[in-house]
Chains A and B, each alone.
Chain A
Amino acid sequence: MFVPCGDSVPDLAGCTLLMPAVSVGNVGQLAIDLIISTLNMYKIGYFYTDCLVPMVGNNPYATAEENSTELSINAEVYASPSKKLVALQLRSIFIKYKSKSFCEKLLFWVKSSNCAKVVVLSSSHSYHRNDLQLRSTPFRYLLTPSIQKSVQNKIQSLNWEEMEKSPCIPEIDDSEFCVRIPGGGITKTLYDEGCSKEIPMVILLKFVSEGDNIPDALGLVEYLNEWLQIIKPCCVDPSASALPWKMPSSWRLLFGSGLPPALF
């Protein structure tokens, strides 16, 4: 359930909700971190649930000593009112058998808060790609029927590729075709529920492998930015070294502590 930080429930009507699916390489979550950090979004509440493994830590977007001691939990909601953007960040994995329950609770909240649309950032195992997918861009999109009319034209003008359908049961020759997102966590469930509950939802995903997924996250936010124009490019020069996306301070030591000098 959504619990606001302050005393009153913020008005999310007409906002775009960005959220990650906990998926291969944690790309969606890294992308949301980049968005929250770059836009300096502030926390407006918690999505308090028993479906995710509990986790706490100090402010992952701290920029100075003063703002580094605010406690963060595993599911929090941030806002940027000027851009009519709301971001839900999920920081831990689902407890077994609780992912469907989480999707139901989440979509119930989305519907009741009257968000204009939901954008799910996700990823899928790159080793599952077929030959055509191997030769094309690694980015894909999916739209639920209720949003198709309003965004189809814009999406087509961007020349984006829709996520292809594949055989539901690959071993059987005449199997039906459906959308499969291996490694995508709750992405498929969210998409199916979004379709059946008539929620305007867009899924954006990238084919990735596990490893250092920061470049994948940067790619995914750039892909999102082509459409939503969250940030304007700071300069037209493509060789500019400065990245427009700000990495949060919590991305330090992603691959562990320092090495013992005696190792060398």
Chain B
Amino acid sequence: MAATFFGEVVRAPCRAGTEDEEEEEEEGRRETPEDGEVRQQLARKREVRFLRRQTKTTLEVSLLEKYPCSKFIIAIGNNAVAFLSSFIMNSGVWEEVGCAKLWNEWCRTVDTTHLSPTEAFCVFYHLKSNPSVFGSCPRKNMQVTILTCRHVTDYKTSESTSSLHTPFLKALKTQNFREPPCCSLLEQPNIVHDLPAAVLSYCQVWKISAILYLCYTDVMKLDLITVEAFKPVLSSRSLKSLVKNIPQSTEILKKLMTTNEIQSNIYT
């Protein structure tokens, strides 16, 4: 509780997130079997499912069992996905092997069949021509690369964030990642959370070589300059072999921007 300037008492949010705990305890006491059933159904609905997009059939085994790989690249967010599509997936033949279908109360996308590469969703591809990417190496030799963006106001520094030159790239790597990163490491006290953190945590705990490239930008929608800020990543040992034609990539990227701009018209 906190008293405001105007003499009213309001419920101040608790940093430690404990407000829900007391409500949970009370709910637990009052919960009927029907409530438990509803909660279980909701939990099942929220489960992540992997399926083949074209046939909409569920993948019977885990993706990495069916397609064991040595390089796993994951892009999170529209700018990271646009970079991956334009600069890495423009060469060679990439075959779609599955997608992840998920739902929670915040989802607005329902249709999973027609998506542009820039929409926030999860589709898995594998490189047909190069077996070492999604090849048959055991998991321990796998290298994971994660690309994502954050708003520059999330970045803590002793100078003001308004004086920083955005966009800029920072990296976080697991103990088993031996290559030099393509940019400077993310300094304390900065942290990363949500999906990129979940992937990196998994890799750190299970001793998988992984690196997260994080682009701090002041434009969160699809933006050419932000996407190009990921370019230093192309010189990394693991991704160099996948990059073929950079001028062509820039053209593909520009086309992607135009398509997206039409789609995001406020009147459609």
Contacts from A to B (Cβ < 8 Å): 3, 22-26, 46, 48, 53-60, 62, 68-71, 73-74, 92-94, 96-97, 99-100, 125, 127, 182-186, 188-189, 210, 249-254, 256-262
Knowing A57-B189, A60-B188, A252-B189 touch, does A257 contact B159 (C-beta < 8 A)? Answer: yes
User: Chain A nearest CB: distance from B184 CB in Å?
Assistant: 11
How many whole Å from A249's CB to the nearest CB in chain B?
6
28 A-B pairs in the complex with CB atoms less than 8 angstroms apart: A24-B15, A26-B16, A54-B194, A54-B198, A54-B201, A55-B193, A56-B192, A56-B197, A56-B201, A56-B212, A57-B186, A68-B187, A69-B185, A71-B172, A73-B200, A96-B24, A99-B21, A185-B18, A249-B189, A250-B189, A251-B189, A252-B158, A253-B157, A254-B189, A256-B156, A257-B159, A257-B161, A261-B160
Residue contact B15 to A257, C-beta cutoff 8 Å: no
Grouping DSSP codes into helix (H, G, I), strand (E, B) and loop, the A interface class, with mixed when no group exceeds half, is loop
Do A56 and B16 touch across chains, with their CB atoms under 8 A apart?
no
What number of A-B contacts does a CB cutoff of 8 Å give? 139
Q: Chain A contacts of B186 at CB under 8 A? A: 57-58
B188 CB to closest chain A CB (Å) equals 5
Residues of A within 8 A of B61 (CB): none
Complex CA gap A183/B174 in Å reads 35
Distance in Å: Cβ of B37 to nearest Cβ of chain A:
15
* A124 CB, min distance to chain B CBs, angstroms: 10
B162 at the interface (CB under 8 A from A): yes
Q: Give the CA-CA distance A195 to B174 in the complex, in Å.
A: 39
CB pair A258 B194 closer than 8 Å: no
Minimum C-beta distance from A37 to chain B (A): 12
Q: How far is the CA of A7 from the CA of B119 in the complex (A)?
A: 42
Considering the chains assembled together, what is the distance between the CA atoms of A153 and B252 in angstroms?
75
Besides the contacts A56-B201, A57-B188, A62-B188, what 13 more A-B pairs have beta carbons closer than 8 Å? A54-B201, A58-B172, A58-B188, A71-B200, A73-B197, A96-B24, A97-B24, A183-B14, A210-B12, A249-B189, A250-B189, A253-B189, A254-B189
Is B172 within 8 A of A57, CB to CB?
Answer: yes
Determine the residue in chain A with the shortest Cβ distance to B18: A185
- Cβ of B1 within 8 Å of any chain A Cβ, yes or no, is yes
Q: Which of B162, B187, B188, B198 contacts A260 (CB 8 A)?
A: B162
Q: Are A26 and B204 in contact (CB under 8 A)?
A: no
Interface residue ranges of B174-216 to A (CB < 8 Å) = 174-175, 185-198, 200-201, 204-206, 212
Q: Looking at the complex, which one of A68, A71, A252, A258 makes contact with B160 (CB distance below 8 Å)? A: A258
Q: Cβ of B173 < 8 Å from any Cβ of A?
A: yes
Q: Which residues of A contact B162 (CB under 8 A)?
A: 260, 262
Q: Mark B13-50, 1 if CB is under 8 A from A, else 0.
A: 01111101110110010000000000100000000000
* Residue interface mask B63-103, A partner, CB < 8 A = 1: 00000000000000000000000000000000000000000
Interface residues of B in 111-153 (CB under 8 A from A): none
Chain B interface residue bracket vs A: 35 or more
Q: Which residues of B contact A (CB under 8 A)?
A: 1, 12, 14-18, 20-22, 24-25, 28, 39, 155-163, 172-175, 185-198, 200-201, 204-206, 212
Asked if B193 and A92 make an inter-chain contact with CB atoms under 8 angstroms apart, the answer reads: yes
Q: Is the CB of B158 within 8 A of A258?
A: yes
| Chain B residues with CB under 8 A of A22 | 16-18
A57 to B163 Cα, complex, angstroms:
23
By a CB distance below 8 angstroms, the chain B residues around A184 are: 18
Check A60 against B189 for contact (C-beta < 8 Å): yes
CA distance A169 to B85 in the complex (A): 58
Cβ–Cβ contact A23 & B16, under 8 A: yes
Query: Which residue of A has the minimal Cβ distance to B185?
Result: A69
Q: Which residue of A lies closest to B201 (CB)?
A: A73
Inter-chain contact B175/A55, CB cutoff 8 Å: no
- With the chains together, A48 CA to B22 CA distance in Å? 25
**A94–B172 Cα gap in the complex (Å)?**
24
Instruction: Name the distance in Å between A25's Cβ and chain B's nearest Cβ.
Output: 7
CB atoms of B16 and A24 under 8 A apart: yes
- On whether A210 and B197 interact (CB within 8 A), knowing A57-B172, A185-B21, the answer reads no
CA distance A176 to B172 in the complex (A): 52
CA gap between A251 and B156 in the complex, in Å: 12
Q: Are A71 and B192 in contact (CB under 8 A)?
A: no
Are A53 and B18 interface neighbours, CB within 8 A? no
Q: Which residues of B contact A3 (CB under 8 A)?
A: 205-206
A59 to B196, CA, bound (A): 18
Q: How far does the Cβ of A26 sit from chain B's closest Cβ, in whole Å?
A: 5
- A238→B155 CA distance, assembly (Å): 40
CB B159 to nearest CB in A, in angstroms, measures 5
**Given the known A-B contacts A24-B14, A258-B159, are A71 and B173 also in contact in the complex, defined by CB atoms under 8 Å?**
yes
Q: Are B188 and A257 neighbours in the complex by a CB distance under 8 Å?
A: no
Known: A62-B188, A257-B157, A258-B159. A55 touches B17 (CB 8 A): no
